[in-house]
Amino acid sequence: MKHMTDCIRAIAERKDRQAFEDLFRFYAPRLKAVLIKGGAGVQEAEEVMQEAMVLVWRKAEQFDPAKASPSTWIYTIARNRRIDLLRREKRAPLDPEDPFFQNISAQPDGEQVYTEGERAQIIREYTKTLPEEQLLLVQKAFYEEMTHQAIAAELDMPLGTVKSRLRIAMRRLREQLSGEEL
Amino acid sequence: MITHHLSDEFLVEYANGSLPSPESLVVGSHLAICAECRDRVETFETVSAVLLEDGDVEALSPDALDAVLARIDSAAEEDGSGDAAPLIEFDRDTLEVIPPPLRSYLDRSLSDLDWKQTARGIEEASLVREDDVRISLLRIRAGQKVPSHTHRGDEFTLVLSGGYADGDDHYGKGDVSVADSATDHAPVADSDGPCLCLTVRNGPTRLTGPIGRFLNPVMRG
């Protein structure tokens, strides 16, 4: 994903349209697919995707590769746009300069020893090791963006089982991530 | 030091955008205070991003790229990021205590809110009052005991300043408690100062103690 990081930088630094087209060709069809999986109609998915890609152009200067991988950054822009359109809720990144953070830290304790790209890589490797039954739940929760309740209903599984399997999968993932620090 | 975090269940649904707005308000406000849970959510967002990279593609409308480029060129178009929300000038105290995600629920600074006494030593400023959801700020006097109560639905409580004890547990700034209908609790505010909490309730509160039953109509408001 190094190329994608370079593309976002090129947009931020010199409004590079070719870089934007590269990003668009990779992300736009994937965002539209994930929006449809998440329950949007085809037209609505197209609209949210287009608005998200416009925001990618406009917000390129705010992209910080130390804080998010290009995919995570673009995913959250699209998710936030969808939430903005559906609800009164607004999600915006936290501003470390806000007076709220005067007495509390805006940053996690300790230094993260892996980069965002490494975090994504560890996660990709981890998902490949998941047993099929857990992978299915992870797909439903993280790709199809379903609630635990909806997953339980669709798979005809007790809600408690969905919760505990996902909890275990996420705990193992965190172990993988912290294991990399040791 | 935050000791009562939100469980993965809420953080996962927050990260994937499926958690309803009232619960998201609690999660977002906790995240503003809790770097540890924020890191968890970032991990969950990265899981989604990885699956996105490896995921399906959907055919775009034929002119999608041109349409997006045209929108980029039209400088007049509003950016739609929510920056256009009317800005309220909050005082310093409000800005330091109210997490950014909660501010859009306030129409004025903390001290100017419409505080109503709901029980001895307890004041409530109602932010949202709908059939199934009530979102409030609670201000509990130092050392005040909150009448014992249970809930028909879930109650989320996030400490914004001060703290309280509930049985053997202590809750300070950033700590969250999630109480369901089986929980009967009776918090006591710390003696060294008032406690300010955000509460989100999915069902009407029922008072259960001997005095509480008496106060029920008041608390139900």
d(CA B5, CA B11): 10
Q: Which of B17, B48, B81 sits opposite A82 (nearest CB)?
A: B17
Residue A91 lies in a domain: no
Q: Is residue B6 predicted with pLDDT exceeding 50?
A: yes
Decide if A174 contacts A120 (C-beta within 8 A). Answer: no
Interface check B66 vs A, CB under 8 A: no
- Number of domains observed in the structure of chain A: 2
Residue-wise pLDDT for B23-41, tens only, equals: 999 999 999 999 999 999 9
Q: Is A124 helix (H, G, I), strand (E, B) or coil?
A: helix
Q: How many Cβ atoms sit within 10 Å of the Cβ of residue B202?
A: 18
d(CA B188, CA B143): 6
Q: Which of B50, B57, B77 sits opposite A120 (nearest CB)?
A: B50
Strand B134-140 to B164-166 pairing: unpaired
Q: What is the mean pLDDT of chain A?
A: 90
Decide if A71 contacts B42 (C-beta within 8 A). Answer: no
Chain B positions touching A171 (Cβ under 8 A) are: 8
Q: What CATH number should be reported for the domain whose range is B115-220?
A: 2.60.120.10
d(CA A72, CA B177): 29
Domain ranges of chain B: 115-220
Residue A142 lies in a domain: yes
Closest CA relative to residue A23, chosen from A36, A8, A10, A13: A8
Q: Is residue B86 predicted with pLDDT exceeding 70?
A: no
What pLDDT does B142 receive?
97
Query: Would you state the structure tokens that stand for residue B106, as one six-digit string?
Result: 């306030």
Q: Which residue has the tokens 């994608």?
A: A4
Interface check B45 vs A, CB under 8 A: yes
Chain B positions touching A32 (Cβ under 8 A) are: 57-58, 60
A6 with A80, same domain?
yes
Chain A positions touching B32 (Cβ under 8 A) are: 94, 100
Domain hosting A144: range is 116-179
Residue A11 backbone phi and psi in degrees, to 5: -70, -45
Query: Average pLDDT for residues A150-176, to the nearest whole number?
Result: 95
What pLDDT does A34 receive?
95
What pLDDT does A180 receive?
52
What pLDDT does B30 receive?
97
A6 with A82, same domain?
yes
Residue-wise pLDDT for A48-107, tens only, equals: 999 999 999 999 999 999 889 999 999 999 999 999 887 767 788 888 889 999 878 766
Buried b / exposed e across A100-136, counting CB within 10 Å, b at 16+?
bbeeeeeeeeeebeeebeebbbbbbebbeebeeebee
- The H or E element that residue A6 is part of is helix A2-14
d(CA B125, CA B116): 6
Residue-wise pLDDT for B176-213, tens only, equals: 999 887 777 889 999 999 999 999 998 655 555 555 44
Interface test with B, best of A51, A69, A90 (most B CBs within 10 A): A90
Surface of B (156-175) touching A: CB under 8 A: 173-174
Q: Is residue B218 predicted with pLDDT exceeding 60?
A: no
- The H or E element that residue B43 is part of is helix B35-53
Chain B positions touching A150 (Cβ under 8 A) are: 18
Residue B195 backbone phi and psi in degrees, to 5: -115, 130
Nearest residue on chain B to A127, alpha-carbon basis? B47
ipTM of the complex: 0.92
Last-in-domain residue among A86, A104, A130? A86
What pLDDT does B209 receive?
54
Residue A105 lies in a domain: no
What pLDDT does B149 receive?
74
Decide if A125 contacts B46 (C-beta within 8 A). Answer: no
Better pLDDT: B94 or A180: B94
Nearest residue on chain A to B45, alpha-carbon basis? A72
The CATH code of the domain that includes A134 is 1.10.10.10
Residue A82 lies in a domain: yes
What pLDDT does B212 receive?
47
Q: Is residue B59 predicted with pLDDT exceeding 70?
A: yes
Greatest CA separation found in chain B? 69
A15 with A79, same domain?
yes
d(CA A53, CA B16): 19
Chain A positions touching B29 (Cβ under 8 A) are: none
Interface check B74 vs A, CB under 8 A: no
Query: B45: distance to nearest CA of chain A, Å?
Result: 6
The CATH code of the domain that includes A41 is 1.10.1740.10
Query: Average pLDDT for residues B71-80, to the nearest whole number?
Result: 68
Q: Which amino acid is at A96?
A: P
Closest CA relative to residue A96, chosen from A104, A106, A86: A106
What pLDDT does A132 receive?
92
Residue-wise pLDDT for B129-180, tens only, equals: 988 899 999 999 999 998 877 777 788 999 999 999 998 899 999 999 998 8
pTM for the structure as a whole: 0.88
Asked if A37 and B95 come within 8 Å (Cβ–Cβ), the reply is no
Query: Would you state the structure tokens that stand for residue B126, as one six-digit string?
Result: 């109602």
Residue-wise pLDDT for A14-29, tens only, equals: 999 999 999 999 999 9
Confidence bin at A181 (pLDDT 50/70/90): very low
Strand B169-171 to B149-151 pairing: unpaired
d(CA A130, CA B7): 21
Q: Is B183 left (phi over 0), alpha (psi -120 to 50) or beta?
A: beta
Asked if A146 and B49 come within 8 Å (Cβ–Cβ), the reply is no
Asked if A33 and B55 come within 8 Å (Cβ–Cβ), the reply is yes
Angle at A147 between CA B199 and CA B38, to 5 degrees: 60
d(CA B212, CA A110): 46
What pLDDT does A114 receive?
80
DSSP string of B73-136, one letter each residue: H-TTS---SSTTSPP----HHHHHHS-GGGGGG-SS-GGGS--EEEETTEEEEEEEE-SS-EEE
